[in-house]
Amino acid sequence: MADKVERLKTLIIGSGPAGYTAAIYASRADLKPVLYTGMEPGGQLTTTTEVDNFPGYPEGVDGPTMMVQLQKQAERFGTEVRIGMITAVNFSDEVGGIHKVTVDDSKIIEAETVIISTGATAKYLGIPSEQKLRGGGVSACAVCDGFFYKGQEVAIVGAGDTAAEEASYLANICKKVTMLVRRDEMRASKAMQHRVNSLDNIEIRYNTEVDTVLGDQVVEGLRMVNNVTGEKEDIAITGLFIAIGHKPNTDIFKGQLEMDETGYIITHGKTTKTSKPGVFASGDVQDKEYRQAVTAAGTGCMAALDAERYLATIESHQEVSS
Ligand SMILES: Cc1cc2nc3c(=O)[nH]c(=O)nc-3n(C[C@H](O)[C@H](O)[C@H](O)COP(=O)(O)OP(=O)(O)OC[C@H]3O[C@@H](n4cnc5c(N)ncnc54)[C@H](O)[C@@H]3O)c2cc1C
């Protein structure tokens, strides 16, 4: 039940690099943003140890530390960071309309602008040995973590374009890449399949799945199973990459915003504008292409600038009409 209504200029949903960057820009522009963290304060980077590719950290930084720093930077300019989950939204169709947002099924917020930065969640296989070794050699991001396996033997699970792309990326860095494809063919486009097939150090195993990830603290090998013959085989690897897709965190926006067939929010042109005026989307929730912290931060900046311009247009329109 609703217990309280609060009016805000700018509400930011999500506390990953996109949300905090939007918060830094929005608070410096005096939009007095309130940011809700969701269930994963700090976002996906809090699940990784080493971030080596975010500009400004010559020695690298561990993910949780970087996210605390981003939070502090946003708070320094007046962003109010609150723990809480947005559980429902009712976005206005009108330019200058007020968007109603429910927090934790109870509190109602009315916001002039909303910046959605709810990210995407990488899908994992869900088997215990894989879960145990997440961060210990099991990763869902080859571009992020491939570098740590330079010159080593790794495996990748997946059969779509992203898996093929990531396998090629790994093949440039690693000694050998074993690619596990569940069916007897890949789903990736012919062009991507051709790329994978042309690389000598990628070995594709069709009809093959992960039985067990071997290792105690870190990945030491992989027990594969052929799903036609039932035959099992162990290989020595140090890294296992899961590339079976991501799920954008957009369930609560269904029916409210334009999305693509996989649930990513569609933004218009080179902006972060969504299908509703005053609602903007930044980060992985609207980007299935790049999915990096720096690109998420970049679009977070854009969303705050778009929100600021939108509010300025509304205010000048109201002044002219009054
Ligand atoms: C294991 C791993 C390692 C990675 N390593 C790197 C790396 O080294 N370098 C790099 O550039 N990228 C890396 N990435 C990718 C990077 O983490 C993402 O691209 C980036 O975090 C996306 O930022 P974001 O702000 O869009 O969303 P996220 O970081 O996904 O954050 C989403 C936020 O939204 C919140 N949220 C979701 N739903 C709600 C709701 N209903 N209400 C309120 N809040 C909500 C969540 O709690 C979370 O705070 C890695 C990813 C993973 C999984």
Query: Greater confidence, 147 or 315?
Result: 147
Closest by Cα among 79, 64, 84 to 19: 79
CATH code of the domain in which 21 resides: 3.50.50.60
Q: Are residues 35 and 109 in the same domain?
A: yes
Residues 109 and 184 in one domain: no
Residue 181 lies in a domain: yes
Q: How confident is the model at residue 2 (pLDDT cuts 50, 70, 90)?
A: very low
Catalytic positions = 141, 144-145
- Asked if residue 205 belongs to a domain, the reply is yes
In a domain, 1, yes or no: no
The more confident residue out of 2 and 17 is: 17
Residue-range definition of the domain harbouring residue 221: 124-242
**143 is a domain residue:** yes
Residue that terminates a domain, selected from 242, 275, 303: 242
Find the 193 Cα to ligand 1 centroid distance in Å.
Answer: 29
Q: Is residue 296 part of a domain?
A: yes
Q: Are residues 48 and 87 in the same domain?
A: yes
| Beta strand 208-214 pairing with 221-226 | antiparallel
Counting residues of the chain whose pLDDT is more than 70, the rounded percentage is: 97
Give the CA dihedral 65, 153, 150, 284, nearest 10 degrees: -50
Whole-model pTM?
0.89
Give the pLDDT confidence of 4-24 residue by residue, as tens digits: 689 999 999 999 999 999 999
Looking from the CA of residue 51, the nearest atom of ligand 1 is: 8
Q: Is the CB of 44 under 6 A from ligand 1?
A: yes
The one-letter code for the residue type at 252 is: I
| Residue where a domain stops, chosen among 242, 268, 302 | 242
Pocket test for ligand 1, best of 44, 65, 149 (most atoms within 8 A of CB): 44
- My answer on whether 298 and 267 are in the same domain is yes
Answer yes or no: is the C-beta of 299 below 6 A from any ligand 1 atom: no
Same domain? For 104 and 250 the reply is yes
Ligand 1 atom, smallest distance to 299 CA: 26
Whether residue 163 is found in the same domain as residue 264: no
Domain count, the chain: 2
